Amino acid sequence: MTQTFSNIEKLSEDFQKLFESEENYSDFQIICESKEKEEETRIFKCHKSILSARSDYFKSLFRSRMKEYQKGEMVLQETSGKILLNILLYFYTGKIEITLENAVEILLFSSKYLIEELTSLSSKFVMENCQLETVVDLLKISESINVHDLSRFCYQFILDHFEDFIKTPFFEELEENHLIQILSYDEIKTNEFDIFQAVVNWGKRKSNIYPSQSMSEKQLKYLKQGLSNLISKIRFIDFSKEEFNLAWKTDLIPKQISRNIFQYQMISSLNVDQGNQFIHKYQKARENRKSLIFSSRLRFQSSIIQEKEHIHKLREWIVDKEFFLQMKLGFSAKKNGWQAKDFHNLTDNKGKTLVIIKTIDNFIFGGYTSVGWTTNPDRLSVKNPFNQAAGWISDPHAFLFSLKNPAQKPPQKFPIRKNEQEYAIYYDDSESGPWFGRDCGLKKDLHEGFSTFGFKYSLPEGMTANSLESTNFLAGNQYWKVEEVESYFLPFQKN
């Protein structure tokens, strides 16, 4: 029988004694000539075998037999004796005390001298203690020493706190390359006009122009040049008309971008299909990351929809662009309840509403209404003959959509047919959840759904209404079970 015993703690203690002993049989010494005037030069007696085992830098140094190896010593000037002592003790004992005061120095030293484990430990420490006031310094340090995990963390930290971050003076400490990287992310949740204003103020500070100061033509020209690489990263498509008019008056937006946005706003407000065709002209450039102005940020947060393509599709399909940008989650079956009354209590009389459904088979679909469900019976265009408080509501802009379907077809939008607009959505707060026409809806128990897709809404090309194919298209069956239901509307909207 074999049994393994371990006494790492005793080993650590003995190696610490070896390091601290005056007669420790050392064969190498490190002379620390600190740049701090009040700190005297310190000499640390070490062992080549320990140093080479704990650091790839020292391993290479001794293997190459450079002058330090020949002399049996090396001189360090970039760190303090206190920090070096801490790190050497870590070499011998495996223990180190990292604090807010010494973490960055330890990180810099361990990175330079290829102490991988200590780089990871100190990097983790500064991540856990990162603040708005320290993140820019950490980002710059991480890039200077090529600690990519820390760089990625800093960018994500800034994205997660961007709305607060742009209000701090630390935002102005970012370099242009940092801002270009940050503005390229789709995940920024901050209002786009606020981002534009922050970028302009950043440019003014870099150009020594006070934010409230009126600019001369020369200053404006200089500022325009300085911001040219950043302005192209602003998602002007996410501006409201009022916001874009204000931005346009700054005279910082290139004329071609201004013309494109004004044209898009004009066309999309009149005809959504033309507006979307206008966007498609820039699809290739967007995919190549050459132009971002027609690519919305992913401010939309849903527990159901995770894929960027699906979010962009919803943004493309909804006529009212400002609704998409400002809508908030108003109902979640998992959070608010699985009865029809739970849905209607939170969703009725809210006007424009987006409903998203996910089945237990992972199919995702839903519908949009520009009028919403209402408790006002006078709004019913066709009443239920058996219940005068229930019936259909007319909506020319309503549509169903499919994002993930059994046929593995790409995301598609299915508008209400023109001759069926009075049957766009069905209202019965006591007996059913959200219903679109007679095509798709949820029962009193929101866990259960029903589909006769194609009854009132348009179908995919080549598909026949009342067929098995159309019935099963959205969820794989006429009857299906629901994993989650979400509805979105404007928090301040009242119908």
Best CA proximity match to 414, nearest among 441, 453, 357, 373: 453
- Whether 175 maps to a domain, the answer reads no
* Structural domain span for residue 121: 100-160
The residues that bridge with 440 in the sheet, in sequence order, are 436, 451
In total, how many domains does the chain have? 4
pTM of the complete model: 0.67
- Whether 192 maps to a domain, the answer reads yes
- At which of 160, 175, 195 does a domain end? 160
Return the sign of the alpha-carbon dihedral for residues 258, 262, 265, 268: negative
How many of the other CB atoms lie within 10 Å of CB of 232? 17
Please check whether residues 89 and 116 belong to one and the same domain: no
| Residues 84, 90 contacting (CB under 8 angstroms) | no
- Whether 177 maps to a domain, the answer reads no
How many of the other CB atoms lie within 10 Å of CB of 61? 20
Long-range contacts of 11-17 (CB under 8 A, 24+ apart): 12/92, 12/93, 12/94, 12/95, 13/93, 15/50, 15/92, 15/93, 16/89, 16/92, 16/93
The residues that bridge with 443 in the sheet, in sequence order, are 432
- At which of 254, 287, 320 does a domain end? 287
pLDDT by residue for the chain (495 residues), tens only, comes to: 787 777 888 988 888 888 888 777 888 888 888 766 667 888 889 898 999 999 999 898 888 877 777 788 888 888 888 899 999 999 999 999 999 999 999 999 999 999 999 999 999 999 999 999 999 999 999 999 999 999 999 999 999 899 999 999 999 999 999 999 999 888 888 888 999 999 999 999 888 887 666 788 888 888 888 898 998 889 887 888 888 889 888 888 888 888 877 776 665 554 444 445 555 554 444 444 445 555 667 667 788 998 878 988 888 898 776 787 778 899 999 999 999 999 999 999 999 999 999 999 999 999 999 999 988 888 899 988 888 788 999 999 999 999 999 888 899 999 999 999 999 999 987 789 999 999 999 999 999 999 999 999 999 999 998 899 999 999 999 999 999 999 998 765 555
Please check whether residues 327 and 472 belong to one and the same domain: yes
Helix or strand (DSSP H, E) at 490: none
- Whether 293 maps to a domain, the answer reads no
- Whether 296 maps to a domain, the answer reads no
CA 394/CA 384 separation, integer angstroms = 14
CA 85/CA 326 separation, integer angstroms = 55
- Whether 172 maps to a domain, the answer reads no
Quickly tell me which residue has 């995702």 as its tokens: 364
Please check whether residues 267 and 229 belong to one and the same domain: yes
| Residues 108, 141 contacting (CB under 8 angstroms) | yes
Give the contacts of 435 (CB within 8 A, at least 6 positions apart): 425, 426, 427, 428, 441, 442
CA 145/CA 154 separation, integer angstroms = 14
Q: What is the CATH number of the domain that holds 72?
A: 3.30.710.10
Q: Locate 402 and state its tokens.
A: 């499919």
